[in-house]
Structure 1
């Protein structure tokens, strides 16, 4: 049965190119991202869940400028590089059971931080009215609590190997399925979608900087396209929810924004795509449908499997969206 036959309706339209967001749209690295922001929040004495909620879908440079007291503009690029390398480090951490080793790590971390005062709110941050209250989607398997556990393990300065030996359990086999895995994954339908697009017909426009973007794509076997607009592009004055990343990517592809299709998962990215004038397809891979269906996207799909692309003889792309 074809994708279209599984759904009640299908819409068909043409475009000249595709602009993909990356994380949450092409790849899933949300667990590693949340762990990195949790570690940064712990470092700054902030509440991790507030930091995660406020930073979602925005450039790390913008977030760090607002979060880190006294951070000078000339040091932002260096701090972004360090932060994004920490995301990839979390992503490459071998999976470990959340029982045993993590409970010990939390106990050690608790004793290390006892007596310290954590800021309960993110006072230095500029209010962001379009920052969503992040609702986790089932396709992302790990809760913020899970990432807090692994971050506590990291912050305890105890190696994963040492902790595993320390907390060796006779019930290890029973706990084998209860693992935190932060590796970067390709999302459903993405490989088929990219394989159906001719070279030079698609681009990536992401809120991540080059280190993080290329790292995630390489880890999932996605070829880095010739046009890849990252947050540290010197030509980019504003990040999402402003349309600048998509406008720049469309220009680099040599197409009009109004003839582009944008794939996005986050509220800020969807707003950026809509503001660019492109046809926006929102995927429910990081947020529930209720959180993104009223933001102006032309289509809302569960995964990219619901979208088919054919390359026409005149060079146009014909899209079939089943819903």
Structure 2
């Protein structure tokens, strides 16, 4: 596999599908929602990943697209933890990165994000941008640009790690480079979204924190087959 090297000062990670695998729980949640409202569950699964719950409701059930309904669904989902686990390579990369060099920007609400991090024994970062902290969710760049600002870095000094096209589009719309993971979507979807590099998961990403403040990032990129 070909390798590529990037240089950054700060990582901005997505959460679900990037650091933590919640796919079985989330898919079961949306399948139940589809059955309850007589909707096409495959259509919902194809669109919902990477979006805030409120934005998914706006697409498929506009009459339910209010914060109280979104909150009810997420509260119930946050209580479940079956099968929730860290994805490959996550522990290794977080053990290397200084705590002031990474943040999370997720489409989950704060209580959901904190619950998932606790379930996987990961300390919440200093900057944790959640759905309830932004006016516009992914693919709008607001979350990632705010994360960079709150961390104290320029956009060009950051790199986003994402698994969903909506998140990759958010990064690129904000002028931030994006490494995409093949954990939940196909390579062509991530390429179309504008990913700068595509890897299987974070096990294919190695970091070296330099004394001059920069971080060398080496990726084993996935070729098209």
Settle same-fold status: TM greater than 0.5. Answer: yes
TM-score by length of 2: 0.91
Q: Equivalent residue of 1:25, what SS?
A: coil
Please name the residue that 2:73 is paired with.
83
Q: Quote the residue 2:182 is aligned against.
A: 284
Gaps of 5+ in 2: none
Distance 1:45 1:193, change over 3 A: same
Contact 2:208–2:216 (CA<8 Å) still a contact in 1? yes
Does the residue aligned with 1:309 lie in a helix, a strand or coil? strand
How far apart are 1:68 and its partner, in Å? 3.9
User: Secondary structure at 1:212's aligned position in 2?
Assistant: helix
Three-state SS of the structure 2 residue aligned to 1:310 is strand
Task: Give 3-state SS (helix, strand or coil) of 2:159's partner.
Answer: strand
Structure 1 unaligned blocks of 5 or more = 1-6, 93-182
1:158 maps to which residue? none
- Number of equivalent positions: 221
Cα drift, residue 89 of structure 1 = 4.0
Q: Which has the higher strand share?
A: 2
**Distance apart, 1:311 and its partner CA:** 1.3
* Aligned with residue 153 of structure 2, among 255, 270, 273: 255
Q: Which runs of 4+ in 1 moved over 6 A?
A: none
Greater C-alpha Rg = 1
Matched, 1:24 2:14: no
Match of 1:317 in 2: 215
Q: C-alpha separation between the residues in 2 aligned to 1:188 and 1:29?
A: 13
How many angstroms does 1:23 deviate by? 0.5
User: Which of 100, 105, 108 is 1:208 aligned to?
Assistant: 108
Aligned mate of 1:190, from 85, 90, 113: 90
Counterpart of 1:49 (choices 42, 54, 60) is: 42
**Per-residue CA shift, 1:173-229, capped at 9, x if unaligned?**
xxxxxxxxxx11110111111111101111000111112211111111121101000
Kindly provide the CA deviation profile for residues 287-323 of structure 1, in whole angstroms up to 9, marking residues without a partner as x: 2323323322111111211211111112221212233
**Segment of structure 1 superposing worse, 297-306 or 45-54:** 45-54
Q: Is the contact between residue 35 and residue 90 of structure 1 (CA under 8 Å) also seen in structure 2?
A: no
1:293 match: secondary structure: helix
Whether the 8 Å contact between 1:80 and 1:209 is mirrored in structure 2 is no
